[in-house]
Amino acid sequence: MKKFLLVANWKLNGSKKMISDYLSSLKSLASVYSKKNIIVIAPPTIYLSQVYKDINNIDIFLGAQNVDINLKGAFTGETSVLMLKDIGVKYVIVGHSERRLFHNETNNIIIKKFNLIKNLNLIPILCIGEIQNNNYSQTKKIIEEQLNCIFKVLGKEAFRNTVIAYEPIWAIGTGLSADPKHVQYIHKFIRNYIQEYDPISIKSTIIQYGGSINSVNTEEFIQQPDIDGLLIGSASLDAKEFLKIIEIANYYT
Ligand code: 13P
């Protein structure tokens, strides 16, 4: 039976009060649900420790939204993967389209981050996806390029024990989620593509979808055989909504 990976990406949202309210409503049920699925909360960096304190005993994992390409030194304002590991982070989002777009993150930077995260035995969540709502062949071409740049530098085993989040950019924060059948098709393509390089790695690669997921559309996505989880933005800011999503996934686990 597969376990879904459900990641709450809070982006630039949250406060001490919001977190304590959120986690107290999550706590009562999450301890039951987290046995079936893998639940991750990725708050802004400044709140990582506060979240960690509260989730530690309810089997929810901590995720970071970003990391620097350096481990230590004179890099004012940055956060190292060593520090993330030190405070209990397990998953790190890398290459999110908002970082590519607003912080000029290039493929080279993304490869370095992905590699550092893996080397320290944390789990990278690599975000990939097309900008416009294209036809299948264009989307596949873009995805191939995004995967190839990692393969080229890190070799055929690059995706062992990692997460790939297919997040079509046009579906993020727009309320226009992609068609679940389209997502299934693309996820299968990603799976086959990785498998061609390394049949072993695909067993440990999780492929999740992100883009305007909410409790109403979760069910359609979760039923697709190649969707292993969801990366949820705005809907994850509401504890009740996030719990509903977890509950739906739980039903199909
Ligand atoms: P929304 O769920 O708000 O569309 O955001 C998706 C996302 O970017 C998750 O990383």
- Domains annotated for the chain, with CATH where assigned, are 5-251 (3.20.20.70)
Q: How far is the CA of 211 from the centre of ligand 1 (A)?
A: 5
Which residue is listed with tokens 């908002």?
A: 98
Output the residue whose Cα is nearest ligand 1's atom 9: 233
Whole-angstrom Cα distance, residue 118 to residue 126? 11
- Residue 167 annotated among the catalytic residues of the structure: yes
Distance CA 211, CA 235 (A): 10
Measure the CA–CA gap between 3 and 6, rounded to whole angstroms: 9
CB-based contacts of 17: which residues, under 8 Å, 6+ apart? none
How close is the Cα of 93 to the center of ligand 1, in Å?
12
Ligand 1 centroid, distance to 88 Cα (angstroms): 24
**Mean pLDDT value across residues 48-73:** 93
CA nearest neighbour of 224 among 177, 178, 187, 174: 187
Encoded amino acid at 222, one letter: I
* Cα 189 to Cα 128: distance, rounded to the nearest angstrom: 13
Residue 86 CB contacts under 8 Å (≥ 6 apart), including other chains: none
State residue 31's pLDDT score: 64
Query: pLDDT tens digits, residue range 79-107?
Result: 999 999 999 999 999 999 999 999 999 99
Q: Which helix (H) or strand (E) holds 134?
A: none
Q: What is the DSSP letter of 206?
A: E
Question: Residue 55's pLDDT band (boundaries 50, 70, 90)?
Answer: confident
- Dump pLDDT digits (tens) for 152-198: 999 999 999 999 999 999 999 999 999 999 999 999 999 999 999 98
> Which residues 6+ apart lie within 8 Å of 193 measured at CB?
143, 144, 147
Tokens of 150: 């990692």
Positive/negative CA dihedral, 38, 189, 112, 43: negative
| pLDDT score recorded for residue 129 | 94
The answer to whether the CB of 43 is under 6 A from ligand 1 is no
pLDDT of residue 30: 66
Instruction: Kindly write down the DSSP assignment for every residue of 80-108, as one continuous string.
Output: -HHHHHHTTEEEEEES-HHHHHHS---HH
For residue 39, list its beta bridge partners: 6
Mean pLDDT of 4-13: 98
pLDDT digits (tens, 9 = 90+) for 124-160: 999 999 998 878 889 999 999 999 999 999 999 999 9
> What pLDDT, on a 0 to 100 scale, did the predictor assign at position 144?
96
Burial code (b: 16+ CB inside 10 Å, e: under 16) for 54-79 equals bbeebebbbbbbbbbbeeeeeeeeeb
End-to-end CA distance of the chain: 6
**Which band of pLDDT confidence, cut at 50, 70 and 90, is reported for residue 64?**
very high
pLDDT tens digit sequence for 104-120: 999 999 999 999 999 99
139 lines ligand 1 (CB under 6 A): no
pLDDT attached to residue 160: 95
Q: Which whole number is the average pLDDT over 200-213?
A: 92
- Quick one: the chain helix, strand, coil %, rounded to 5? 50, 15, 35
